Each structure stands twice: as structure tokens, then as C-alpha cells.
């Protein structure tokens, strides 16, 4: 075990940890808060990420500084496991406890607890921790990076820890590079991998494209810079792809009136500085701030907006992969399934189960829950939250069978599995997957959309002083606290034909998220308003 110099740690702690008397929660995507509060979080998180590396025998763990779709003044941090997936859930309470000790107790109390934790996880004297760092384009990210590395170097010593800093990356790129576990890899390796996977599927004939132009709203985030780099060597007609809201060098614009979360919640086009006339033959998509979410959309000839969200992406992939399984004659040997949350549109679930006859599982909100279910239950596990965050997981059995099978459909299945970033939801990789699926099926955006019609729905949020007051059960479909609120919600939505509504605390901000759907488009706002009033009144009581 590397010897810790308490005096050096104290000096760094005293310099960095200014946030006091404040409680943090490691939510669905790590810690998130206003950036000015995160110094203490970063200091402790870096040390724990290094300890996590030690438990893996010195393999690289990843640390990503980002707040995804949150507004520019926020930031956050999360730890990535060596296989590219998210931090082991059993570590979440421990990291939360230790971060809050740093905020709410003396240095000695925090240090003693950290030492106990360190000793309990360290079994070898000669393991050097390794971890990779990256951050998004927020103004606060460089300072928070400094807070994090200061803590690590104070605890372990500069020469006893290996830090690989990638600088500006999307969150999925950091996950992927952590998965590769190679010290000298860079974003070029990410780009080359997915460009090659695409080249194995795309013939390069412009006439194959079922759309005239692809417009990509990158939310003025780091996805803009990384997509610019990606398309330079991407086998795709560059005159057909156009980046909107690409001002990542102006952090104050991040996620403002644009991006996947804006489009999903507002059900309208993002604001962008272009005079381009929208055409029904064009396809549009939006990333979020760190490019791990994507939603698609288009406007028809009557200029009506049509959203193609995470539910639509899941059903598109299920349709395509089922077709390839049938053509490859592997359908009886490989189990295809879709994982959703309770907030998936009711008609998407009905389409998958009734029309495609593909099994559907339901989990709590948060991709870590969907990821686990997809991995444990299916050979091809498709999971997407309605917000556009998701991916597809392919089992070892899948890899073995498709490699043994030499028919065209099996080869296509294999190459398609390579075009997907299986470590985490990835806006760039998911975009490639959607595009190659539409090309293969010869579907326009309208063809995709007409497979089933979404029930009218609204996803809104209410800012609350304490989100922990809202507790759920039944995969977050029912509230148990505040007591008495759930019966009122049910009485409300039962007045509407095919009415449903779910209320849950956000995992990333002090807010409550409210999902509503019913069969009548003219009444969905009324349902949402009534449920919102119930939530607001419950907070006031």
C-alpha cells in the first residue's frame, strides 16, 4: 500500500475544499450541481477513482467531468469502470458518504474515514493506480480538473499514480478509451474504429440515402468539435451533413434552447442560426451537451414537427435486427429483447410486443439499470430511455455464432455490432447505427415514423427545494412519498382515455420529472397541468 502523507493531504484539502455544510448525492450519472459547489466533490472523487483502479490491479478507471444536458453553470463528475461501464453500484453509497464527510466534518474525520476505506480496498503494496480524465466544454471544467488531480497527487504522491488526461472529449469517447485500456490511445483511435465499422456497411452510393440532408444540432457542446473531427475521414458525402449549434467555444450557449433534452421536452425544433429552408426530405437530430444522448426529428410537408425519440430508436433497431436474425437463420439461437423504463410511450411497447413479437423488460430510470437488464437477459439487448440515451449490447454467444456463420446477413449483424458503442449511450455511434439502418431498410424519416403512432405525451419538470421527498416503487411507476399523492395522480389520469402519468425525482438536478400520456392530443396539456398542480401543492403542504 502506498504510504499517505497526512500533512500534504491536509495542505491540499485546505486549499481546495471550500464547500462546507452541503450534502451531495451520487445520482444516475454521478455527482451534479452548480459548479461553484463541486471543489470538495472533485477532491474526494479523484482519490476514490484511483482506489478503484487499485482494486482492479492497476487497470485504468475513467473520470469524466461533465453535466451533460444541464445548464452551463452546472457541472459534475462520474467514474468509469475499466470495461467502460459505469461505477459499480455498491460503491455509490461509499463515495457519497466520503464526499459528504469532506463537506460536513473536520479534516481529521474525513481523513480517518478515507484511510479506513483505502486500507479496506488495498491488498497489494506494488499496485500503481491508473486513470483517464476528460471533460466537456464548460467554463468550469479546467478548474474542477485541477481540484481533482490535486487531491489524487496529494494522497498518492505525483510519482505513485498514472494520470492520462485526454482534455476535451465527449462522455462516450472517454468510456470507449477507458474500455480499450491502452495508454497511447487518443480520440483518433475512437474515430478510426467507428469509421471502419461504418465502411464495412456503407457502399458509398449517394443514391442509397433515403434523405437529402442530415442536420445535426450539437447543443453548442463538445459534440460539435468531435463530430467535425469525425466526419473528415468518414465515408459519407460531406455535402449532405450540416452541423447546427456548433459554438462549443462559447460555454454560455451550451444547451440553451437547443440539444436533445430541449427538443424532447419542448417537442419543437431547436433554435439555430441558419437560413436553411426545412424540407420533408431532410433528417434532423440533436445531441446533448456531452453527446451521450440523441433524438431525431423531421418536418412534414405541412411543416408539422415529428419527434423520433429513444422509443422510436429502440423500435427501429428491433425491426432491423429481427430482420437480420431471420435472414441469417440465427433467430432461434439468439434472444433479441428491448429494455425500457416506465416512461416509454405506451404504443412503443405495444408495437414491440404485439407487432414485432419481441420481449420487453421494464426497469427503473437510469441507464445503469437498463444496461444491467440488457446484459443479463438478452443476446442482443436494445435499451434506450425515451430521452435518447441508450445503446445495444451483444453477448459473447452472439459474437461466436455470427463469426461462425458466413452468410451475408450474419456478416451484416457482426459489422452492425461494431458500429455501436456498447460501453454507453453515444450520440455519434447511435447516429451511425440509425443512418445505416434507414439506408438498409430504404426508409425515409416518414417511413420510420409511420410504423406506429405515439400516444400524445408530455415530459415536464418542476423545480423543488428537496427532491428526496419523492420516493417511488414498482420500477418508479408509483409514488410512496409524499404520502397520499399517488391516489390523487391516479384519480386524475383515469379521467382521460388511455391516460397514464408517472412522477419521480430527477437523478441529476433538484427537480421532479412528470410524464403524462393519453389518447387525445388536445387534452394532453390539460392532464399535464393537473398533475403538475398536484405535485406543486404536495410540496407546499
Residues contacting residue 41 through CB under 8 Å, at least 6 positions apart: 19, 24, 31, 33, 77, 99
Q: Is residue 68 flagged as an active site residue? A: yes
- Looking at residues 481-488, what average pLDDT do you find? 94
506 versus 519: which is more confidently predicted?
519
Model pLDDT, residue 446: 96
Are 47 and 152 contacting, i.e. CB atoms less than 8 angstroms apart? yes
DSSP per residue, 489-500? HHHHHTTSTT-E
> What angle do helix axes 107-121 and 92-104 make, rounded to 10 degrees?
160
Q: d(Cα 541, Cα 536) in Å, to the nearest integer?
A: 9
Q: For 97-123, how does the pLDDT look when each residue is reduced to its tens digit (9 = 90+)?
A: 999 999 999 999 999 999 999 999 987
Q: d(Cα 209, Cα 126) in Å, to the nearest integer?
A: 55
pLDDT band at 254 (very low <50, low <70, confident <90, very high): very high
Model pLDDT, residue 158: 92
Helix/strand/coil for 134: strand
pLDDT at position 379 over 90: yes
**Full set of structural domains in the chain with CATH:** 6-186 (3.40.120.10), 193-308 (3.40.120), 310-422 (3.40.120.10), 457-540 (3.30.310.50)
Q: For 147-199, how does the pLDDT look when each residue is reduced to its tens digit (9 = 90+)?
A: 999 999 999 999 999 999 999 999 999 999 999 999 899 999 999 999 999 99
386 versus 124: which is more confidently predicted?
386
User: Rounded to an integer, what is the distance from CA 381 to the centroid of its chain?
Assistant: 16
pTM for the model: 0.92
Model pLDDT, residue 124: 72
- Looking at residues 380-406, what average pLDDT do you find? 95
Question: Mean pLDDT for the chain?
Answer: 94
pLDDT at position 508 over 80: no
Alpha helix positions (H), 200-268? 222-231, 260-266
- Looking at residues 265-287, what average pLDDT do you find? 85
Helix/strand/coil for 306: strand
Are 460 and 524 contacting, i.e. CB atoms less than 8 angstroms apart? no
The CA-to-CA distance between both ends of the chain, in Å, stands at: 53
Q: d(Cα 300, Cα 216) in Å, to the nearest integer?
A: 18
Model pLDDT, residue 206: 60
pLDDT at position 138 over 80: yes
pLDDT at position 276 over 80: no
Q: For 415-439, how does the pLDDT look when each residue is reduced to its tens digit (9 = 90+)?
A: 999 999 999 999 999 999 999 999 9
Model pLDDT, residue 25: 87
CA distances from 139 to 90, 91, 145, 147, 247 (A): 32, 29, 11, 14, 13
pLDDT band at 205 (very low <50, low <70, confident <90, very high): low
pLDDT at position 275 over 90: no
Nearest C-alpha neighbor of 504 from the set 343, 267, 263:
343
- Phi and psi for 277 in degrees, rounded to 5? -80, 125
Q: For 437-467, how does the pLDDT look when each residue is reduced to its tens digit (9 = 90+)?
A: 999 999 999 999 999 999 998 888 889 888 8
Q: d(Cα 257, Cα 266) in Å, to the nearest integer?
A: 9
Model pLDDT, residue 249: 96
Model pLDDT, residue 365: 85
**Active-site annotation holder among 68, 103, 137, 501:** 68
- Count other Cβ atoms within 10 Å, centred on residue 377: 14
CA distances from 221 to 97, 227, 497, 516 (A): 32, 10, 40, 29
Model pLDDT, residue 274: 63
Model pLDDT, residue 278: 75
pLDDT at position 540 over 90: no
- Is the backbone peptide bond immediately before 482 cis, with ω within 30 degrees of 0? yes
pLDDT band at 279 (very low <50, low <70, confident <90, very high): confident
Q: For 27-80, how does the pLDDT look when each residue is reduced to its tens digit (9 = 90+)?
A: 777 999 999 999 999 999 999 999 999 999 999 999 999 999 999 999 999 999
Model pLDDT, residue 2: 86
Alpha helix positions (H), 268-377? 310-328, 346-350, 367-377
Q: For 289-347, how does the pLDDT look when each residue is reduced to its tens digit (9 = 90+)?
A: 999 999 999 999 998 999 999 999 999 999 999 999 999 999 999 999 999 998 899 99
Amino acid at each position: 500500500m502506498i504510504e499517505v502523507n497526512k500533512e500534504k493531504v491536509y495542505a491540499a484539502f485546505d486549499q481546495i475544499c471550500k464547500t462546507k455544510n452541503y450534502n451531495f448525492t451520487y445520482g444516475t450519472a454521478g455527482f451534479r450541481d452548480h459548479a461553484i459547489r463541486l471543489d470538495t466533490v472533485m477532491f474526494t472523487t479523484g482519490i476514490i477513482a484511483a482506489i478503484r483502479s487499485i482494486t482492479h490491479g492497476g487497470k485504468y478507471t475513467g473520470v469524466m467531468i461533465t453535466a451533460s444536458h444541464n445548464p452551463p453553470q452546472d457541472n459534475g463528475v462520474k467514474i468509469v469502470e475499466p470495461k467502460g461501464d459505469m461505477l459499480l453500484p455498491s460503491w455509490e453509497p461509499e463515495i457519497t458518504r466520503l464526499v459528504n464527510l469532506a463537506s460536513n466534518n473536520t479534516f481529521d474525520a474525513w481523513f480517518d474515514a478515507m484511510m479506513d476505506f483505502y486500507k479496506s480496498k488495498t491488498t497489494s503494496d506494488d499496485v500503481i493506480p491508473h486513470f483517464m480524465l476528460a471533460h466537456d466544454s464548460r467554463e468550469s471544467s479546467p478548474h474542477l480538473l485541477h481540484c481533482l488531480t490535486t487531491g489524487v497527487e496529494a494522497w498518492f504522491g505525483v510519482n505513485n499514480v498514472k494520470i492520462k488526461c485526454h482534455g476535451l472529449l465527449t462522455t462516450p469517447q472517454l468510456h470507449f478509451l477507458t474500455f480499450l485500456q491502452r495508454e497511447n490511445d487518443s480520440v483518433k483511435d475512437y474515430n478510426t474504429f467507428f469509421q471502419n465499422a461504418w465502411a464495412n456497411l456503407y457502399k458509398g452510393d449517394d443514391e442509397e440515402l433515403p434523405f437529402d440532408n442530415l442536420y445535426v444540432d450539437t447543443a453548442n457542446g463538445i459534440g460539435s468539435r468531435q463530430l467535425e473531427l469525425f466526419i473528415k475521414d468518414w465515408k459519407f458525402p460531406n455535402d449532405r451533413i450540416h452541423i447546427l449549434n456548433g459554438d462549443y467555444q462559447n460555454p454560455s450557449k451550451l444547451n440553451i434552447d437547443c440539444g436533445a433534452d430541449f427538443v424532447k421536452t419542448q417537442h419543437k425544433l431547436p433554435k439555430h442560426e441558419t437560413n436553411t429552408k426545412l424540407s420533408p426530405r431532410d433528417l434532423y437530430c440533436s445531441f446533448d451537451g456531452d453527446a451521450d444522448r440523441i433524438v431525431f426529428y423531421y418536418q412534414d410537408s405541412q411543416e408539422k414537427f415529428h419527434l423520433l425519440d429513444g422509443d422510436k430508436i429502440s423500435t427501429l433497431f428491433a425491426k432491423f435486427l429481427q430482420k437480420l436474425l431471420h435472414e441469417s437463420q440465427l433467430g432461434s439461437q439468439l434472444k433479441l429483447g428491448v429494455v425500457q423504463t416506465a416512461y416509454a410511450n405506451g404504443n412503443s411497447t405495444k408495437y414491440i410486443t404485439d407487432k414485432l413479437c419481441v420481449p420487453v423488460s421494464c426497469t427503473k430510470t437510469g441507464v445503469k439499470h437498463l444496461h444491467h437488464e440488457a446484459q443479463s437477459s438478452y443476446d442482443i439487448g436494445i435499451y434506450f430511455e425515451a430521452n435518447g440515451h441508450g445503446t445495444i449490447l451483444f453477448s459473447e454467444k452472439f459474437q461466436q455464432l455470427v463469426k461462425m456463420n458466413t452468410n451475408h446477413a450474419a456478416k451484416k449483424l457482426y459489422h452492425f455490432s461494431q458500429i455501436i458503442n456498447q460501453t454507453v449511450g453515444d450520440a455519434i455511434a447511435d447516429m451511425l447505427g440509425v443512418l445505416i439502418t434507414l439506408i438498409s431498410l430504404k426508409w425515409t424519416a416518414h417511413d420510420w415514423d409511420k410504423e406506429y403512432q405515439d400516444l400524445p405525451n408530455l415530459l415536464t419538470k418542476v423545480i423543488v427545494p428537496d427532491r428526496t421527498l419523492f420516493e417511488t416503487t414498482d420500477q418508479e411507476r408509483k409514488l410512496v412519498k409524499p404520502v397520499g399523492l399517488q391516489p390523487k395522480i391516479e384519480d386524475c389520469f383515469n379521467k382521460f382515455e388511455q391516460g397514464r402519468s408517472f412522477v419521480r425525482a430527477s437523478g441529476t438536478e433538484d427537480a421532479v420529472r412528470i410524464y403524462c400520456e393519453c389518447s387525445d392530443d388536445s387534452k394532453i396539456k390539460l392532464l399535464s397541468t393537473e398533475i403538475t398542480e398536484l405535485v406543486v401543492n404536495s410540496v407546499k403542504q
